[in-house]
Structure 1
């Protein structure tokens, strides 16, 4: 008999969701991570259960705007040219997926996941007793330029065609909804079915506590190696070799660094994101507000105002880019008026495949090896669903969703 039914590498929102779903199903689970649950990239996001976010970062507008995005000091995109030159496979595949046809195909696959996202996370919120952390005020997206407002139309209509509910609000209504906004508003859209969390890390901590209360096991150590066969997996954790019926690779941007996991050759990249926190300033907005041209969200967090977002294409281990933080501070003041000095700052590493789709399902190396990583900007939104899908696969259940588009062996461009 194996030591565990499942050993999970990674205790972010994906790994903890996998652990809690599996334990609620009665599986014997070990969760391994060198850091406290939810303390990594999962802790610093824009706090939004963004079921509307079916449009990939890969968009034809990226190709049209690439020179200005890369060269402007007011761009929400930053690129390390040294990193790009060292990783041409990822960069070229990413740009290839910005063409109209691939982008539309990717949006359809993401929409299929988003349609079931709430059914994946809501049982975990209930199990963790975390309903008090969830706010149902929707998400407001604003455009401050006429050009930006016009350019948004195609994407909004694509969302609607894919089943995403939204309503147009007038600039005056948007200003009434969020009086703290100082920008000129040319257009505004309310994704009224979206929700946000007062503190994502608190949710993950409660989920992990529920997992522990149900008898789940955790270790504060990394998965050091995986040896997968057809019938069983041997996992090395903290120098100890353990046997399991299944191993789950859910280590986010670090998933490619686990020896034997079969992930080292996958084109897993990193979209680095940043946030600034302003203690005592949460009243500036009442719900997540996304400024489209700015490329970030202003979010009311339990600890203050959070300005979160932007994209930096750079190495996993590259140092903090102060220009990205300065950008958020400068543009945040444009959006909301003068702000005090931030109380804290943060860098997170979004795990991103060049087609902006997660890797979900069984490894071609072994059916006992399950992949759950690469969720880019929507890990918080899709974490619960991913956990349920992984539990289904581990138990031999039909996941009720075609996982072929998310297979590790797919074509990425």
Structure 2
């Protein structure tokens, strides 16, 4: 008999959601991670339950503005050329998905998954007794130039066609909604159905507490290898061997490093993201505010103002890029006025497939191994529904979401 029904590698937003959903269903669950739950990439996100985020990073505008994005000092994108040369297939696949037809298809597939996001996370919020962490003020997106404001129209209309609610906000109303904005506002849009969490790590900590109280087991060790058979999976974790009926790979950008899981064959890349925290400046904004041209968010966090975002395509083990932090600090001051020196800085690793879609489903190698990674910018938002779908698969049930677009066997370009 197996030690556990389900062993889950990874205790970020996605892995912790998988663990709590499975434990709520009555399974015997083991959660494996060498670090405290929620302390990795999930710690530093933009705090937003971004149910509107169906437009992929892959967009035709990337192809049109690629030289400017790559070479401008004011670009929200940074690219390590050495990393790109070492990973040409990923880069070419990413660019191929920036064409109009693939980009539209991906947006529709993300929108379908996001339409289930609240149904996936709301039961976890209740189980974790975390209602006090949820703020329902929507998300405000602003553009400070006429050119960028006009360029946003196609994407906004695509969102609306895919069922994402939003309303146009006049510039003076945007200033009333967020008096702290100092940068010009030429256009503003309020995604009024969006919510944010005052402290995402605290939410994950409370999920872990609920998981433990329901009988879940946590092992502070790194899952290093899995070996599947017809009856179960053996998981190797820092000298320990555990057996489970199913193993879930939910280690984010590090999922490729688990031997025997088949993940090494997948084009899993990394969009490195950064944030700065300003302890006494949370009053600068009252909800997540995204600045379109700058590619980052200003977010009111329980511990202060968080400026977070941008994209750096580089290796997992590359050193922190101080130029990215300087960019965020500079743009933050343009957006909100003079800021003090940040109290902390952070680098995280968004797990990203070249088509910007997550991988959710069974491993091609064994139905005993389940995949739950690659959620790029929206792991917090999609963690709950991913956890519910993984529980369905582990039980042999038929999920109410078509998982074909998120299968590991899909074409990536």
TM-score (ref. length: structure 2)? 1.00
Alpha-carbon separation, structure 2, partners of 1:229 and 1:133: 42
Structural mapping, 1:164-175, within 5 Å: 164-175=164-175
**Displacement, 1:237?**
1.9
- In structure 2, the residue matched to 1:232 is 232
**Displacement, 1:55?**
0.4
**Displacement, 1:25?**
0.3
**Displacement, 1:215?**
0.5
SS of 2:311's partner is strand
**Displacement, 1:238?**
2.9
- In structure 2, the residue matched to 1:241 is 241
Structural mapping, 1:231-380, within 5 Å: 231-380=231-380
Alpha-carbon separation, structure 2, partners of 1:64 and 1:175: 31
SS of 2:293's partner is coil
- In structure 1, the residue matched to 2:161 is 161
Structural mapping, 1:32-111, within 5 Å: 32-111=32-111
Deviations 1:210-234 (A, max 9, x none): 0000000001100121001232111
Q: What is the root-mean-square deviation of aligned Cα atoms in Å?
A: 0.5
- In structure 2, the residue matched to 1:201 is 201
SS of 1:101's partner is helix
Alpha-carbon separation, structure 1, partners of 2:383 and 2:254: 17
SS of 1:212's partner is helix
SS of 1:264's partner is helix
Residues 169, 188 of structure 2: 8 Å contact kept: yes
Residues 224, 257 of structure 2: 8 Å contact kept: no
Give the number of equivalent residue pairs: 413
SS of 2:263's partner is coil
Deviations 1:24-64 (A, max 9, x none): 00000000001000000001000000000000000000000
Alpha-carbon separation, structure 1, partners of 2:91 and 2:410: 17
Alpha-carbon separation, structure 1, partners of 2:139 and 2:245: 41
TM-score (ref. length: structure 1)? 1.00
Deviations 1:338-386 (A, max 9, x none): 0000000000000000000000000110000000000000000000000
- Structure 2: give runs of 5+ residues left out of the alignment: none
Alpha-carbon separation, structure 1, partners of 2:190 and 2:223: 42
Alpha-carbon separation, structure 1, partners of 2:232 and 2:218: 20
- In structure 2, the residue matched to 1:127 is 127
SS of 2:74's partner is coil
- In structure 1, the residue matched to 2:182 is 182
SS of 1:196's partner is strand
- In structure 2, the residue matched to 1:117 is 117
**Displacement, 1:409?**
1.0
Alpha-carbon separation, structure 1, partners of 2:263 and 2:238: 20
Runs of 4 or more consecutive aligned structure 1 residues displaced over 4 Å after TM superposition:
none
SS of 2:154's partner is helix
SS of 2:101's partner is helix
- In structure 2, the residue matched to 1:142 is 142
Deviations 1:181-231 (A, max 9, x none): 001100000000000000000000000010000000001100121001232
Deviations 1:126-181 (A, max 9, x none): 00000000000000000000000000000000000000000000000000000000
Residues 165, 191 of structure 2: 8 Å contact kept: yes
Alpha-carbon separation, structure 2, partners of 1:241 and 1:330: 49
- Structure 1: give runs of 5+ residues left out of the alignment: none
Alpha-carbon separation, structure 2, partners of 1:354 and 1:261: 20
Alpha-carbon separation, structure 2, partners of 1:237 and 1:60: 43
Residues 279, 305 of structure 2: 8 Å contact kept: yes
